């Protein structure tokens, strides 16, 4: 069969192999799909892109994670002497400060990524994160320069937050636009694999320091080591990102050829990188994105950032033991996350997201009751219950969120929605939970907070559209082989049985 004949009927077997792609093509009302519109991915290029985005993401979250794992020590170093709860609240308040400026970073870097390209902006965010994290490691303590220590800490935390505002939206967009449509969930899951790897690296280094150094050494100079490591790590990440080409979807958009999808009909009027039009034209989707990300991030930061502090501050575990338990759980999640990414390609984004939300809704209270018992087996089982719920969402979000927005505003819209939600709900989680426990007197508040977030998430998942195995909005289909491209062109046949 000649692949160039657009009137030939599609092979029924091809329809069975790619049903979602064929449905998307049959529904569109824009000009006929041409072979030149379809992106045939280069497998090696996809793997390089995934590796660079994921490793860069791991390094960024290493930088960001070390602060939360050193929260107790940082409270002692940078804030005036007082009771431990006040110092911890001050430390977590500074942790939250970085999230307050993340929306500004998203509004700055996101539209820039839609204007000049994903690659350049991701390189810039990497530089800013490495510099700000390295600088934190050089700040003198409160005993040396007084209140200026806390002021400098806040300044560099804000710079961290500003740079992170352009990271997740860009990295998830980068992978989503490189990946073939039917494997976007699998490749997207590597981004969160990188997040877990960054957290594991940070937790592992901090655990090692706590094991080797006494309290005096940690507060004197030991806490600085993880921050200073950020410098060389940042150079590695920058090198990896600068070696990549721009995403195929963005290249087609720049060339004026990204028009052959259903979504393109209603996005042509929006200029690339126009922040005002993002709010005017896509506010319903932004609200959906904020709800999904809020429910997700509250549970991410509760489990991966706050939990070591909960185990040590509320249950009396040593920092070393608390971190070791969390590292074990995160390593387990790293082993299974890509399998869950494949499941989202097979069964859809919504079923996996719903499973994760329902898991937190119904399992949070039993999990924290187990954790509260204090024995290692009970803590591990409780955290695994939460971890398996989390991985359902983690493996899926990085593919589901970029698909909410069309190509010409994807980086900007996702960066704005993601960071607004993370600022309001994610980064404030440790502070809010610590304050709620202090106010209520019960250490089950993390469970109730997670359940409330999950309920919002359930509603958001119900409202979202399924996007698995479909072209990204505003972009033509992306396939793995020339044969698949030919099948999609042939799928435009008016034959009603298809």
Q: Give the helix/strand (H/E) hosting 352.
A: helix 349-373
Measured in whole angstroms, the distance separating CA 118 from the mean position of its chain's CA atoms is 16
Per-residue pLDDT, 11: 53
Q: What is the largest CA-CA distance in the chain?
A: 79
pTM: 0.78
Kindly state the tokens that stand for 133.
């994290």
Per-residue pLDDT, 1: 37
Per-residue pLDDT, 423: 84
CA angle 298, 398, 351 (to 5 degrees): 80
What residues of the chain score a pLDDT lower than 70? Answer: 1-33, 35-37, 81-85, 248-249, 252-274, 491-498
Angle between helices 283-301 and 429-440 (to 10 degrees): 60
Per-residue pLDDT, 496: 43
Per-residue pLDDT, 262: 40
Kindly state the tokens that stand for 444.
């089950």
Q: What is the Cα–Cα distance from 330 to 307, expressed in whole angstroms?
A: 12
Q: What is the Cα–Cα distance from 87 to 76, expressed in whole angstroms?
A: 7
Measured in whole angstroms, the distance separating CA 488 from the mean position of its chain's CA atoms is 31
Phi and psi for 332 in degrees, rounded to 5?
A: -60, -45
Q: What is the Cα–Cα distance from 81 to 360, expressed in whole angstroms?
A: 37
Q: What is the Cα–Cα distance from 69 to 207, expressed in whole angstroms?
A: 9
Q: What is the Cα–Cα distance from 178 to 157, expressed in whole angstroms?
A: 32
Asked if the 36-251+271-471 domain carries CATH number 1.20.1250.20, the reply is yes
Domain residue extents for the chain: 36-251+271-471
Residue with tokens 């960001």: 64
DSSP assignment of 267-297? TTTSPTT-HHHHHHHSHHHHHHHHHHHHHHH
Q: Name the percent of the chain in helix, strand, coil, to the closest 5.
A: 80, 0, 20
Q: For residues 58, 410, 174 and 337, what is the CA-based torsion angle, rounded to 10 degrees? A: 50
- The answer to whether 258 and 264 have CB atoms below 8 angstroms apart is yes
What are the DSSP E strand ranges found in 67-194? none
Phi and psi for 407 in degrees, rounded to 5?
A: -60, -40
Nearest CA-CA partner of 295 in 183, 413, 462, 176: 462
Measured in whole angstroms, the distance separating CA 339 from the mean position of its chain's CA atoms is 17
| Helices H / strands E in the chain, number of each | 25, 2
Kindly state the tokens that stand for 167.
């990271």
Q: Give the helix/strand (H/E) hosting 147.
A: helix 147-164
127-139 per-position pLDDT tens digit: 888 888 899 999 9
Kindly state the tokens that stand for 28.
């569109």
Residue with tokens 């559209």: 465
Per-residue pLDDT, 229: 86
What average pLDDT does the structure give for the chain? 81
């Amino acid at each position: 069969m000649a692949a160039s004949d657009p009137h030939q009927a599609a092979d029924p077997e091809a329809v069975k192999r790619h049903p979602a792609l064929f449905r998307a093509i049959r529904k569109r009302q824009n000009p006929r799909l041409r072979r030149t519109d379809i992106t045939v991915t280069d497998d090696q290029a996809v793997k390089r892109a995934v590796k660079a985005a994921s490793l860069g993401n791991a390094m960024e979250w290493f930088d960001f994670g070390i602060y939360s794992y050193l929260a107790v020590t940082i409270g002692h170093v940078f804030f005036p002497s007082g009771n431990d709860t006040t110092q911890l609240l001050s430390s977590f308040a500074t942790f939250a400060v970085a999230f307050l400026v993340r929306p500004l970073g998203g509004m700055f870097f996101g539209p820039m990524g839609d204007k000049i390209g994903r690659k350049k902006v991701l390189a810039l965010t990497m530089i800013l994160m490495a510099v700000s994290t390295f600088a934190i490691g050089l700040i003198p303590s409160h005993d040396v320069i007084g209140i200026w220590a806390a002021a400098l800490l806040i300044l560099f935390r804000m710079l961290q937050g500003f740079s992170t505002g352009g990271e997740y939206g860009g990295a998830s967009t980068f992978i989503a636009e490189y990946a073939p449509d039917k494997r976007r969930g699998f490749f997207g899951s590597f981004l969160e694999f990188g997040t877990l790897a960054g957290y594991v690296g940070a937790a592992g280094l901090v655990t090692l320091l706590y094991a080797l150094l006494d309290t005096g050494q940690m507060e004197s100079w030991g806490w600085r080591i993880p921050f200073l490591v950020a410098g060389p790590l940042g150079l590695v990440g920058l090198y990896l990102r600068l070696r990549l080409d721009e995403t195929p979807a963005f290249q087609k958009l720049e060339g004026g050829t990204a028009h052959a999808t259903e979504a393109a009909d209603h996005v042509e009027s929006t200029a690339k990188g126009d922040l005002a039009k993002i709010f005017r034209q896509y506010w319903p989707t932004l609200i959906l994105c904020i709800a999904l990300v809020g429910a997700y991030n509250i549970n991410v930061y509760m489990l991966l950032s706050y939990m070591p502090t909960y185990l040590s501050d509320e249950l009396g575990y040593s920092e070393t033991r608390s971190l070791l338990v969390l590292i074990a759980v995160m390593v387990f999640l790293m082993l299974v996350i890509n399998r869950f990414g494949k499941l989202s390609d097979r069964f859809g984004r919504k079923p996996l997201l719903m499973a994760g939300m329902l898991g937190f809704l119904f399992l949070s209270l039993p999990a924290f009751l187990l954790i509260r018992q204090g024995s290692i087996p009970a803590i591990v089982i409780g955290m695994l219950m939460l971890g398996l719920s989390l991985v359902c969402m983690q493996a899926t979000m990085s593919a589901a969120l970029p698909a909410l927005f069309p190509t010409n505003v994807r980086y900007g819209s996702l960066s704005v929605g993601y960071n607004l939600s993370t600022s309001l709900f994610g980064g404030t989680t440790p502070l809010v939970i610590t304050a709620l426990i202090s106010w209520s007197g019960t250490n089950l508040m993390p469970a109730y907070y997670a359940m409330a977030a999950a309920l919002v998430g359930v509603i958001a998942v119900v409202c979202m559209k399924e996007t698995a195995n479909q072209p990204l909005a505003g972009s033509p289909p992306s396939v793995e082989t020339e044969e698949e491209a030919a099948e999609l062109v042939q799928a435009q046949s008016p034959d009603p049985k298809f």
